[in-house]
Amino acid sequence: MCEAMRICGNPSSVHAEGRRARATVERARETVAAAVGAPAAAVTFTSGGTEANNLAIVGPGVERLLVSSIEHASVLEPARRSGKELTLLEVDARGVVDTEALDAELSSGRGSALVSVMLANNETGAIQPARKIAEIAHRHGALAHADAVQAVGKIKVDFADLGVDLMSLSAHKVGGPTGVGALVARNDLNLDPLAVGGGQEFRRRAGTENVVGIAGFAGAIEAATREREPFATRMAALRDRLERAVDAMRPGTHFFAKGAERLPNTTCVAFPGFGADLLLMTLDLEGVAVSSGSACSSGKVSPSHVLTAMGVDAETSRAALRVSFGWDSKDDDVDIFLGALRKALSRLDRRAAA
Ligand code: PLP
C-alpha cells in the first residue's frame, strides 16, 4: 500500500505514471483472483462487500430473487427494494439453508432467477451448502450468488469449485483495508452497473479505481489464504477451549449453530437472562471487544433476523453475544476473555439480586 501511495497516476491514463497505476491494479486483480480460484477477468473491484452484494443482486436483472433469510442486510435490502418477485429461503434450527425447499421453490416458479445464499453466516459462523445450492440453481436455469465475505481466509473458497456465478469479497475481513472489496462474476455474464459514467472495471463499475486499497486487498488476501490452514486449526482450538470453559462456568449456556459446520473463528453464545448489550458494555470496560447478535438501529435494539430465522425466541436472541478471534489471538486472550466474563456475569448477577 505504501508503494501504491507513491504512484500519482490514474490507472486509465496512458502516460507512464498511469501505466504504473494500471499495472498495480492488474497485478492485484490476478492475486485476488488466484486466491479464490477465479480468472482475473472475473474480478470487479468495488468499495467493499456491501457494494459487491448490491451489484450481484441488481446487476443480472433477473425476474425472481431467492434469498436466504439469514443474509447480510446488503443482500436483503437491495433484494427487497428491487421490486422483483422475492422468496426468502428458510433455514433449520442450526441456521443452515434448506436445499430441498429451494429445489421446490425453483420448480414451482417461472422466469429468470437468481439464488443468493452466503457461504458462511456473519453472526453464527454456520457454513452453507453453497456448491449444492449452485447445482440446484443451475438445474433450474437460475444463477447462483454466494456472499463469501466471512468465509475467505477461514475456510477454502474456490469460485470454480463452488460453481457459483457470482461471489462477493471484502478486504477488511481478511485483514486488509476498509472500503474495498470485489465482486467475482463469470465474465460472460451481463451485469448492469450500479455506478455509470466511466468504462472502468470491464464496464461493470464506473469510477477511478482505489489503487491503494486494491493493492492492500491483494496483499491481505494472499497472506490470509496462504496461512489459512494453520490459522483455522489454531482458531478452532481456541474457540473450542473457550466454549468448554464458558459451559463449565455457566452450565446451560446456549451456543448457536453448534450442530452445523462453522467457521473456526466465531462463536455465538447466549447467557439466558442477561441482555447482550449490558454484557457487551461490561466486557468493553474490561477491555474485551465483542458484538451483540442483535441489530441496533436508532437506539432500538431488535432481535437478530438471523436468530429469529433459526426459530430463536426474542429474549434469547437479545442475549446473544458474538465472540470472534483474529489472526493473532492466543490462549492468553481466551484467559483474559474468561476472566472478564466471570467478572461481568457476577456483577450483573449482583445487580439482578439487588
Ligand atoms: N456480507 C457479510 C456476510 C458481512 O459480514 C459484511 C460485513 O460485515 C458484508 C457483507 C459487508 O461488507 P463491507 O463491510 O465490506 O461492506
Q: What tens digit of pLDDT does each residue of 119-177 get?
A: 999 999 999 999 999 999 999 999 999 999 999 999 999 999 999 999 999 999 999 99
Query: Is 90 exceeded by the pLDDT of residue 298?
Result: no
Query: 170 CA distance to ligand 1 centroid (A)?
Result: 7
pLDDT band at 301 (very low <50, low <70, confident <90, very high): low
Cβ–ligand 1 contact at 150 (below 6 Å): yes
Cβ–ligand 1 contact at 121 (below 6 Å): no
Cβ–ligand 1 contact at 53 (below 6 Å): yes
**pLDDT > 90: percent of the chain:** 87
Cβ–ligand 1 contact at 122 (below 6 Å): yes
Question: 293 near 320, Cβ under 8 Å?
Answer: yes
Q: What's the mean pLDDT in 28-39?
A: 98
Query: Is 90 exceeded by the pLDDT of residue 277?
Result: no
Query: 101 CA distance to ligand 1 centroid (A)?
Result: 26
In order, the DSSP letters of 80-121 are HHT-SEEEEEPB-TTS-B-HHHHHHHHHH--S-EEEE--SB-
Question: What integer pLDDT is reported at residue 293 of this predicted model?
Answer: 66
Query: Cβ of 198: how many Cβ atoms within 10 Å?
Result: 13
Instruction: Report the mean per-residue pLDDT for the chain.
Output: 94
Question: What integer pLDDT is reported at residue 294 of this predicted model?
Answer: 62
pLDDT band at 296 (very low <50, low <70, confident <90, very high): low
Which H or E run contains 283?
helix 276-285
Active site residue 296: yes
